[in-house]
């Protein structure tokens, strides 16, 4: 009986020694989550930047909230959590700056507006005025009130005196990526998106490049939200977006540097 008890004690001691050591406080610590509210048209480029930045900064976890710039603006105004705002329009950023909700900010990029059609479409265009023809039944655009691409499209069509004529053909989208989807799936015969969006899809082709003189400049300002609780980390990522490394990614995806 004594031998059995001794053997059991030895086995328990051996098992205790074999138990893995408790994780250190550093290993158990959570990453710092940085929330970036960004225009939907930035999704592809920021996806690449996310991987590179997190590799260089292993304690940072970038989380992106993509949507239309107008919707993101409203979210920030209503107190939704956000550390940075990266807009596809100056109007939305300017409003937040005037409301004293944005700290450091600057315009980083610019873009171009294009009209796309399904890749198998045989309809050709030389001007947006040809959208009034019977070959085009539905035209996808972002909601002009909240989607900058939709605002630029409205300005374009208004300048060319066809906005009111075409209103019955419009299919409105919540952001520019939904416009792209409508055209990709054939739910619209044409749509207005940024050049950078058109370049990401093999299901659409650029039918027209819109003259930049007929709409407001397409600018992409970024800024740190004043109410962030992670100001140091937010400013560090804001600075990274302006490095040569990040700029090279944006250029690769079709943006122009401002």
pLDDT band at 29 (very low <50, low <70, confident <90, very high): low
- Average confidence (pLDDT) over 60-81: 98
pLDDT digits (tens, 9 = 90+) for 201-227: 999 999 999 999 999 999 999 999 999
- Average confidence (pLDDT) over 94-108: 98
Q: Which CATH number fits domain 31-110+219-257: 3.30.70.580, 3.20.20.70, 3.40.190.10, 3.40.462.10?
A: 3.40.190.10
- Predicted confidence at residue 30, as pLDDT, reads 84
Task: Tell me if 117 sits within 8 A of 205, measured CB to CB.
Answer: yes
Domain 31-110+219-257 and domain 113-214 have a common topology: yes
Arch. (CATH architecture) of 113-214: 3-Layer(aba) Sandwich (3.40)
Task: Tell me if 224 sits within 8 A of 234, measured CB to CB.
Answer: yes
pLDDT band at 89 (very low <50, low <70, confident <90, very high): very high
- Predicted confidence at residue 104, as pLDDT, reads 95
Is 161 a known ligand-binding residue?
no
Is 27 a known ligand-binding residue?
no
pTM of the model: 0.86
Task: Tell me if 179 sits within 8 A of 114, measured CB to CB.
Answer: no
- Average confidence (pLDDT) over 228-237: 98
pLDDT digits (tens, 9 = 90+) for 161-211: 999 999 999 999 999 999 999 999 999 999 999 999 999 999 999 999 999
Given a cut of 60, whether residue 229 has pLDDT beyond it is: yes
pLDDT band at 41 (very low <50, low <70, confident <90, very high): very high
DSSP strand pairing (113-118 vs 60-67) = unpaired
SS3 120: coil
pLDDT band at 8 (very low <50, low <70, confident <90, very high): very low
Is 249 a known ligand-binding residue?
no
Q: How far apart are CA 202 and CA 176, in angstroms?
A: 16
CA dihedral 148, 97, 257, 37 (to 10 degrees): -60
Task: Tell me if 255 sits within 8 A of 42, measured CB to CB.
Answer: no
- Average confidence (pLDDT) over 223-248: 98
DSSP string, 28-96: HPPPEEEEEEEEGGGHHHHHHHHHHHHHH-TTEEEEEEEE-HHHHHHHHHTT---SEEE-S-HHHHHHH
Is 146 a known ligand-binding residue?
no
SS3 string, the chain, reads CHHHHHHHHHHHHHHHHHCCCCCCHHHHCCCEEEEEEEEHHHHHHHHHHHHHHHHHCCCEEEEEEEECHHHHHHHHHCCCCCCEEECCCHHHHHHHHHCCCEEEEEEEEECCEEEEEECCCCCCCCCHHHHHCCCCCCEEEECCCCCHHHHHHHHHHHHCCCHHHHHHHEEEECCHHHHHHHHHCCCCCEEEEEHHHHCCCCCEEEEEECCHHHCCCCEEEEEEECCCCCHHHHHHHHHHCCCHHHHHHHHHCCCEEC
Domain definitions of the chain by residue range: 31-110+219-257, 113-214
């Amino acid at each position: 009986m004594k031998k059995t008890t001794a053997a059991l004690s030895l086995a328990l001691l051996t098992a205790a020694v074999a138990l893995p050591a408790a994780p250190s406080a550093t290993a158990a610590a959570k990453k710092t989550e940085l929330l970036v509210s960004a225009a939907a048209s930035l999704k592809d480029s920021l996806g690449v930047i996310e991987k590179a930045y997190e590799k260089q900064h292993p304690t940072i976890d970038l989380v992106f909230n993509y949507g239309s710039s107008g919707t993101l603006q409203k979210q920030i105004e209503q107190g939704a959590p956000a550390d940075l705002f990266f807009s596809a329009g100056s109007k939305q950023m300017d409003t937040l700056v005037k409301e004293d909700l944005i700290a450091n900010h600057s315009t980083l990029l610019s873009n171009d507006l294009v009209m796309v059609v399904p890749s198998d479409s045989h309809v050709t265009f030389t001007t947006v005025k040809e959208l009034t023809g019977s070959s085009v039944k539905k035209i996808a655009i972002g909601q002009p009130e909240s989607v900058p691409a939709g605002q630029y499209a409205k300005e374009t069509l208004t300048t060319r005196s066809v906005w009111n004529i075409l209103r019955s053909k419009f299919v409105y989208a919540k952001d520019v990526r939904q416009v792209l989807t409508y055209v990709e799936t054939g739910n619209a015969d044409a749509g207005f998106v940024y050049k950078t969006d058109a370049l990401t899809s093999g299901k659409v082709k650029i039918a027209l490049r819109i003259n930049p003189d007929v709409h407001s400049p397409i600018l992409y300002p970024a800024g740190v939200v004043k109410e962030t609780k992670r100001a140091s980390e937010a400013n560090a990522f804001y600075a990274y977006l302006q490095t040569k490394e990040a700029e090279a990614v944006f250029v690769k995806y079709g943006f122009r540097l401002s």
